[in-house]
Amino acid sequence: MMAFHVGQKVVCVNANPWPGMVQFGDDEAPILGGRYTIRRVFVWRDGTLVFWLNELARNADSRAEHGDDVGYGAWRFRPVRTTDKGMEILNSLLLPKPKKVKQRDRERA
């Protein structure tokens, strides 16, 4: 089982609604390949790991049918993968450029 946490970026790998659940509108549905930020992680009544996502909110009909804690099954998402190389490049942009030292200045030191 994967460990998920609040603030983590995830990507939708399964845009199908929860088996047996009615989707109340496209405005509340994750999109395949969409990236989202976890707002809350909790266990649903049936023991399934569930998320609330910053970018999506269940609409009033959905909350009325399933309650306020209705969320998105963790099985529909995977963590967004980052590469160390990418972070290395970004961090290098933040570092000050090294000063070029003339040869004779090196000899004096």
> Is the pLDDT score of 63 beyond 60?
yes
Q: Is the pLDDT of residue 81 over 90?
A: no
Q: Is residue 60 part of a domain?
A: yes
The answer as to whether 66 is a domain residue is yes
Indicate the DSSP class of residue 57: -
- 77-99 CB burial, b ≥16 within 10 A, e <16: beeeeeeeeeeeeeeeeeeeeee
Residue 104 lies in a domain: no
Instruction: Answer yes or no: is 14 within a domain.
Output: yes
Boundaries of domain holding 54: 9-95
Count of domains for the chain:
1
Looking at residue 6, its pLDDT comes to 94
Residue 10: pLDDT band (50, 70, 90) is very high
Distance CA 25, CA 87 (A): 37
CA distance 27 to 41: 21
DSSP tag of 59: -
Top-confidence residue, 52 or 22: 52
Give dist(CA 37, CA 91) in Å, integer.
23
- The answer to whether 31 touches 60, Cβ cutoff 8 Å, is no
Residue 35 inside a domain? The answer is yes
Residue 103 domain-assigned (yes or no): no
Residue 2 inside a domain? The answer is no
**25 falls within a domain:** yes
